[in-house]
Amino acid sequence: MKNSAQRTWGGRFTTGPTAAVQQFTESVSFDWRLYRQDIAGSIAHAQGLAKAGLITKAEAAKITRGLNAIQREIDTGKFHWDSALEDVHMNIETALVKKIGAAGKKLHTARSRNDQVATDLSLWVCDTAVDLIEQLGQLQLALVNLAEANQNVIIPGYTHLQRAQPVAFAHHCLAYVEMFERDLLRFAMTCGNAGRNSPLGSGAIAGSTLRLDRAAIAKQLGFSGVTQNSMDAVSNRDFVLDFLYAAAVTGTHLSRLAEDLILWSSAEFGFITISDAYTTGSSLMPQKKNPDICELTRGKTGRLYGNLVAVLTMLKGLPLTYNRDMQEDKEPLFDSADTLLATLRVVADMLRHIKVNRSRCETAAGDPLLLATDLVDFLVKNGTPFREAHHIIGALVAESEKTGIALPKLAGKKYGRAAEKVFDVHRALAARKTVGAPSPENIRAQITRWKKLLR
């Protein structure tokens, strides 16, 4: 047990916490990850203190040098983290005092860990959102390349997992590119919100009697402005929720992609082959090749949802302002970031090593029933009202099923050669020219658009 006087807050205590309490309350084992943001925040704060005349310029310079040295020690793994010092903030402050002496003891002037942690965490959320945006872009690029390499492959599109209408394989890939673009924008928004107003200077709850130029300090840290209510500032974790929500939605999209790939790589579909390097075997059945990457991607989505719900629940009953409960925001946040970054990386790699089995795709897409709707359109073009045409072709499909005569043949018999031609799948796709539809020209244009955007 550490002597209470050695703790930064030890003044009013006769004894330090028990070992169990220390272990229960410490956060440095995970919040050490905030050290870069913490040090940047402290350097800006020290300069603010000097500008306000609360410390000398020489002291600010000493603090800055000391913090930079500490950062290098942490970067190179030479720093000793002490769980008796609770968290990243106190570890760094204590190390600074040890390194530079008296000046270090002035750093925490007009600051509390409450505004400090809110600032650090805002910066971390923004930095990490930027990393995720980069990775999302890489994943999009992998999908665009897969689309481009298989531009002319046709597959059935599904609704209710029943064959619906033919689409280009590329169109299916590009649907995911759209989803990931929205995710990317969500992370950009998350960073925009987190980086708007700096909480630093809000103190523990009510600012400080010592006046600092908060705006200048904020600007140095890259924020656009400062928070306007100190109580809101120290109790706000909306930016953590934004991040966790963005991660959860991205997880949904990744999970749906994973599910499509699992289905497509099954013997029943056989549309794709996932490279051996991105699958695993069975300990019992020698023939097995399992899409584990996809399954783990789907499975990990549960964690992303769980982390969002954990932080929402942690916050919901808290009276203003800071409560120690809020320390529980970090592990879910870090877990979602780590999970998502790792998943994005491995899924992008896997996509770069997927083989599309054209003949299996085309056999499936050659099912003439996929073009029953086009036959309805054919009747509509010849003047039949849509509802009537739908009914007529429905009956023709039933007849085809009953007699075993293929639909194109029946259509030809009833409506002539032109109706039979409706079942040419390439013609059918070429005719889908409306914006957003999968005609080959549209798809080529989309691939070009994305490649330009992603460059």
Applying CB under 6 A, the residues found at the interface with ligand ARG are 27, 31, 87, 113-114, 117, 322, 324, 326-327
CB 260 within 8 A of CB 274: no
Nearer to ligand ARG, 232 or 377 (CB): 232
Q: Which two tokens stand for residue 115?
A: 């505004």
Q: How far is the CB of 9 from ligand ARG (least distance, A)?
A: 8
Q: How far is the CB of 27 from ligand ARG (least distance, A)?
A: 4
Q: Clarify whether 282 is annotated catalytic.
A: yes
Nearest-angstrom CA–CA distance, 169 and 113: 53
Nearest-angstrom CA–CA distance, 240 and 117: 12
Nearer to ligand ARG, 104 or 203 (CB): 203
Q: How far is the CB of 28 from ligand ARG (least distance, A)?
A: 8
Tell me which residue of 175, 174, 158, 178 sits closest to 166, measured CA to CA: 158
Nearest-angstrom CA–CA distance, 232 and 238: 10
**SS3 at position 392:** helix
For residue 224, what is the DSSP state? S
Give the DSSP per-residue string, 367-380.
-GGGGHHHHHHHHH
Q: Which of 80, 160, 283, 359 is catalytic?
A: 160
Q: Clarify whether 160 is annotated catalytic.
A: yes
CB 113 within 8 A of CB 45: no
Nearer to ligand ARG, 89 or 172 (CB): 89
**SS3 at position 163:** strand
Q: How far is the CB of 159 from ligand ARG (least distance, A)?
A: 47
Residue with tokens 């209408």: 165
**416 Rama sector, left if φ>0, alpha if ψ -120 to 50, beta otherwise:** left
Tell me which residue of 454, 425, 447, 455 sits closest to 173, measured CA to CA: 447
CB 174 within 8 A of CB 446: yes
Nearer to ligand ARG, 36 or 421 (CB): 36
Instruction: For residue 120, count CB atoms less than 10 angstroms from its CB and return exposed for 0-12, middle for 13-18, buried for 19 or more.
Output: buried
Nearer to ligand ARG, 165 or 321 (CB): 321
Nearer to ligand ARG, 241 or 380 (CB): 241
Nearer to ligand ARG, 237 or 300 (CB): 237
Q: How far is the CB of 337 from ligand ARG (least distance, A)?
A: 16
For residue 319, what is the DSSP state? P
Residue with tokens 């794709």: 272
Q: Which of 282, 336, 391, 400 is catalytic?
A: 282
β 162-168/225-226 pair status:
unpaired
CB 428 within 8 A of CB 371: yes
Q: How far is the CB of 58 from ligand ARG (least distance, A)?
A: 30
Q: How far is the CB of 208 from ligand ARG (least distance, A)?
A: 15
Catalytic residues: 160, 282
